[in-house]
Amino acid sequence: MSPPDKYGKRRQITFRIGPLAEDRLRQVAALFNMKPAEYAKAVLYRDLAIFNEPLDQRRRSWRKKKLEDENLELRPCRGSIY
């Protein structure tokens, strides 16, 4: 079953945030090793109680993955905060 059949037609939304919200969004997204947009979408889905939709189906390129792997020691680890 294709994603449009399974989840329905997708809609794109855009919203603006201020500089303080942007700074905090970047910080908290980094804690979960996510992009700010991915984290904002996850929070929106959580608040709407929609847990069965995928956050992001785009595939990252190999080159970008290789660059991320080189910086593993700079990124916070996933999992608990302890």
Q: Check if the beta carbon of residue 53 is closer than 8 Å to that of residue 7.
A: yes
Q: What is the DSSP string of 3-55?
A: HHHHH-----------HHHHHHHHHHHHHTT--HHHHHHHHHHHHTT--SS-S
Low-confidence ranges of the chain (pLDDT < 70): 3, 53-82
Return the amino acid letter for 32. Answer: F
pTM of the model: 0.55
> pLDDT tens, 16-38?
999 999 999 999 999 999 999 99
